[in-house]
Amino acid sequence: MQPIISVRGLHNAFGDQVIHHDLDLDVMPGEILGVVGGSGTGKSVLMRSIIGLQEPQAGEITVFAESMRGKEEDEATDVRRRWGVLFQGGALFSTLTVAENVQVPLKEFYPDFSRSMLDELARYKIHLSGLPQDAAHKYPSELSGGMKKRAGLARALAMDPELLFLDEPTAGLDPIGAAKFDELTLSLKETLGLTVFLITHDLDSLYAICDRVAVLADEKVIAIDKIDALLATKHPWIHEYFSGPRGRAARPFDRREK
C-alpha cells in the first residue's frame, strides 16, 4: 500500500538551530496518525513543510505520490485541493463570518461558483462540523473556543478533502468538548474515508482515535507505531510521556497495569 504522505531525509533549521535532521515519516491511507513530541521538536514545522508553508533545507516530501519540494503555489494546486488544514486556534479571518470563512477556499479554487452554490456548500460544511446553522452568520469574536475550532474544521472540509491536517484541535477545550471533537473527527474519518495527520498533546485523543502515533525527538521521528508497542519502548521521553501519571490516567482501564 502506497503512503498518502512520504517524508524522507527531511532537514529543517532556523539559523544554527536544527529542528529536524534526516527525518523519515509515512502516513498510510485511511489512518489517523497522531504526532507527538516535546516543545521545540517541530511538530507544526513538520506539518508546514508537508503542506508547503515551510521550505526545508533538504529532504523529499511526496503527497499523493507527487513531489512537493520546490513547487510554486500554482504548480501544487491539484494536490492542495485534496487536503484541508485546521490550524491552531482555528485561524479564522476575523472580519468574515463563519460562512464566509468556509467559502474562502471554494472561491479560490472555484471562482465561477454562484453565490447560492457557495451559500449551500457553506451550510453543509457547517452542519458537518457540528455547529448550529445560526453560527453561519456569526463572526469569530462571537464564538466560543470550541465553536472556533469547529468553524475552522468546516473550512478545512470545504473542498471535500481526502487528507485532513489537524494542529492541536482540542487544545484549550474542556474535557467534554475535547471528547466530542475526538468523536467528530473519528466519525468524519469513517464516513468520508479521510486520512488524518493529527498533531496533539492530548493523551485521551491518542488513545481514543489514533491508529498509530509518531514520536518526534532528537530531531527526527524516533518511533511510529500503535500505542501498545510504544509503551514497550525504552526511550526516556516516550516512557515519561506514556507511563507518567497523566499517561497512566489516560490509558483505557483494560490496558492499565494491575
Judge whether 124 and 99 are in contact, CB under 8 Å: no
Neighbours of 116 (CB within 10 A): 8
How is 181-244 classified by DSSP, letter by letter? Answer: HHHHHHHHHHHHT-EEEEE---HHHHHHH-SEEEEEETTEEEEEE-HHHHTT---HHHHHHHHS
The model's pLDDT over 40-68, given as tens digits with 9 standing for 90+, comes to 999 999 999 999 999 999 999 999 999 98
H or E stretch including 73? none
Mean pLDDT within 157-174: 95
Domains of the chain and CATH, by start: 28-54+161-251 (3.40.50.300), 84-160 (no CATH)
Residue 253 has a pLDDT of 46
Instruction: Please state, rounded to an integer, the average pLDDT across all residues of the chain.
Output: 91
Three cell numbers at 149? 475550532
> What pairs with residue 221 in β-bridges?
216
Residue 252 has a pLDDT of 64
Residue 244 has a pLDDT of 64
Three cell numbers at 238? 516516550
The answer, yes or no, to whether residue 247 has pLDDT greater than 70, is no
Residue 16 has a pLDDT of 92
Residue type, 253: F
Residue 258 has a pLDDT of 40
